[in-house]
Amino acid sequence: MRDTEYGDRAYRRRFSFRKKMIFIPFLVVGGLALISYIVMLLWNALMPVIFHLGMITFWQAAGLLILSKILFGFGKGGHRGGPPWMRHRMEHFKNMSPEEQQRFREQWRDRCGKWGRHYGRPDWDQAAGDAAKPAEEAPKPM
């Protein structure tokens, strides 16, 4: 194979890719229109009946969709342990020594008091390794 043939093929492939790039904005607008139409249909089918709200137009549905994406994020595919700031904190907590983890728990207990979903759980005060150990089973009476 000669260099000119390879160069010509690479140029054609690159030029073909550039021609396809022209359609991306149209695909984005078409996808937004389709999703807005689906939001409008779902809203008009469910919300007036369930919550006694008014019906919305296509443009209101598009605005509602854009507003919800701005407020709740554009999604990165799947759940990855919560929001980025929480993932960062969880990774930071996992890298702490047991003494640092205990100090962190005490600080949060002082801040939050006896409130939250962990209140009353016996293993919340224990280190991660201690909580995973099963308790000794008592002999069963016959």
Q: What is 85-130 written as a DSSP string?
A: HHHHHHHHHHTS-HHHHHHHHHHHHHHH-S-STTTT-TTSSS-HHH
Domain shared by 102 and 48, yes or no: no
What is the model's pLDDT at position 25?
A: 92
Domain shared by 86 and 31, yes or no: no
Alpha carbons within 13 angstroms on the beta-carbon side of residue 51 total 8
Residue 29: pLDDT band by 50, 70, 90 thresholds? very high
Average pLDDT over residues 77-82: 57
Q: Answer yes or no: is 27 within a domain.
A: yes
Tell me the three state secondary structure of residue 78: coil
Domain shared by 7 and 64, yes or no: yes
Domain shared by 31 and 91, yes or no: no
Q: Is the dihedral of CA 123, 124, 129, 130 positive or negative?
A: negative
pLDDT top residue among 19 and 99: 99
Residue 110: pLDDT band by 50, 70, 90 thresholds? confident
**Domains in the chain: how many in total?**
2
Residue 89: pLDDT band by 50, 70, 90 thresholds? confident
Q: Answer yes or no: is 129 within a domain.
A: no
Domain shared by 7 and 68, yes or no: yes
Tell me the three state secondary structure of residue 32: helix
CB 54 within 8 Å of CB 64: no
**119 vs 128: CA distance, rounded Å:** 17
Domain containing 26: what range? 3-72
Domain shared by 90 and 67, yes or no: no
**113 vs 128: CA distance, rounded Å:** 21
Domain shared by 54 and 9, yes or no: yes
- Is the pTM of the predicted complex or chain greater than 0.85? no
Domain shared by 52 and 86, yes or no: no
Domain shared by 41 and 65, yes or no: yes
Q: Answer yes or no: is 33 within a domain.
A: yes
What is the model's pLDDT at position 60?
A: 96
Domain shared by 56 and 94, yes or no: no
Domain shared by 61 and 90, yes or no: no
pLDDT at 3 over 60: no
Domain shared by 57 and 113, yes or no: no
